[in-house]
């Protein structure tokens, strides 16, 4: 998706904390083992502090062909303001799974619709309060995902977002 709004994109960095999201290294190894369908290089960067986040984003900013994936990781979610400010300062387009990143000024998000997750979980709470054992309830995965794009941020980054891409978005922030 970053490549859709930044045509010269050739490198993307997946940022996460290995203590709070250790599975991303295995995910990335599996991803890299697949036949490449794009010329975009994907690499991981482990971050565990504000300084490491700022250093990683500054490095990406020095390369005009890079973008950032802010992983779905509790640490990353809590550090979203630091990430957004560094990305703004170094003009790095950022995508996250969390809509909140975009509402607060990042470029875009694509991820589960958290409002839908909470709505659906209320049925589980109801069943449990009526006496059903939680162990008898089936596990569920998100089934509704949303794409949110911040045009103000795109403009600040000097990116133009095609109308066809905007038509895919569930929400466009202007």
| Per-residue model confidence as pLDDT tens digits over 15-55 | 999 999 999 988 888 888 877 777 888 899 999 999 999 99
Tokens, residue 120: 């659906």
Local structure of 173: helix, strand or coil: strand
Mean of the pLDDT values across residues 121-145? 90
Angle between helices 80-90 and 50-62 (to 10 degrees): 30
Query: What is the C-alpha to C-alpha distance for residues 61 and 22, in angstroms, rounded to an integer?
Result: 26
The answer to whether residue 126 scores a pLDDT higher than 80 is yes
Question: What is the rounded average pLDDT for all residues in the chain?
Answer: 92
Per-residue pLDDT reduced to its tens digit, 89-117: 999 999 999 999 999 999 999 999 888 88
């Amino acid at each position: 998706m970053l490549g859709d709004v930044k045509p010269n994109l050739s490198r993307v960095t997946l940022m996460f904390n290995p203590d709070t999201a250790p599975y991303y290294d295995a995910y990335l190894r599996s991803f890299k083992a697949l036949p490449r369908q794009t010329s975009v290089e994907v690499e991981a960067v482990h971050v565990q502090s504000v300084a490491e986040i700022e250093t990683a984003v500054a490095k990406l900013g020095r390369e005009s062909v890079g973008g950032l994936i802010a992983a779905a990781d509790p640490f990353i979610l809590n550090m979203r303001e630091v990430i957004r400010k560094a990305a703004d300062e170094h003009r790095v387009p950022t995508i996250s799974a969390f809509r909140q990143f975009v509402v607060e000024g990042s470029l875009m998000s694509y991820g589960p619709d958290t409002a839908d997750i909470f709505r659906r979980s209320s049925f589980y709470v109801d069943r449990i309060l009526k006496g059903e054992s939680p162990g008898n309830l089936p596990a569920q995965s998100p089934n509704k995902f949303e794409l949110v794009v911040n045009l103000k941020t795109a403009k600040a980054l000097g990116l133009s977002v095609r109308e066809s891409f905007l038509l895919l978005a569930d929400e466009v922030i202007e």
